[in-house]
Amino acid sequence: MKKFICLAILLNTTCLFAQEKMVTHKINDEISYVVPESFNLMSKGDRIEKYVSSREPLAMHSSVDGEINYGVNWNPMQWMDGDEQMIHDFYKASILSMFDQVEFIQNEIKEINGKKFVVFEFISMLRTENAFSNKSSRNYTYIQYTSYNEQVLLFNFACKARLMNQWQPVANDIMNSVKVKEK
């Protein structure tokens, strides 16, 4: 009976996430996407505190509990239309070098809303081994890259791997909603 109750709670929670209202967010007139209505747009101070980077993200959203994050960032690396395979290979090598283990769910170039994207969806594991700790973390990441004004735009959804089953459908909705038009 306890197993049945736990399963019912899990299914109900999953359905709630899947049914959550999505709202459109615009970076500017050329870049838009949808996110769950309950996600908070991080303030500039929160973005700087949580994400150390030489480039401030264009937008960062977080679930109420802070466990799920979705962000939009840019990279000054030049990218022209037609460079997708080269960019794919570059970022795949980068992903593989950052983690101890990577299991790809998607690893491809695809068209979304009339624009080509380099898409990686994966589960990663990173081990921390030092004098103070010997543990590992598993994360679910869905990241996609595209060209925008000869630079790279990246859209990144991330959470702990244990939350993937609940959030993967939402990540797919967000990523498939991305619209990028050239100026």
Whether residue 181 is predicted with pLDDT greater than 60 in this model: the reply is yes
pLDDT at residue 15, rounded to an integer: 42
pLDDT at position 79: 76
pLDDT single digits (tens) 135-174 = 678 999 999 999 888 889 999 999 999 999 999 999 999 9
Residue 11 is predicted with a pLDDT of: 43
Residue owning tokens 């109750």: 5
Say what the pTM is: 0.83
Is residue 156 within 8 A of residue 141, CB to CB? The reply is yes
**pLDDT over threshold 80, residue 97:** yes
Q: Are 38 and 65 in contact (CB under 8 A)?
A: no
136 near 100, Cβ under 8 Å?
A: yes
Cα–Cα nearest to 144, from 181, 99, 176, 182: 176
DSSP 100-145: SEEEEEEEEEEEETTEEEEEEEEEEEEEEESSS-EEEEEEEEEEEE
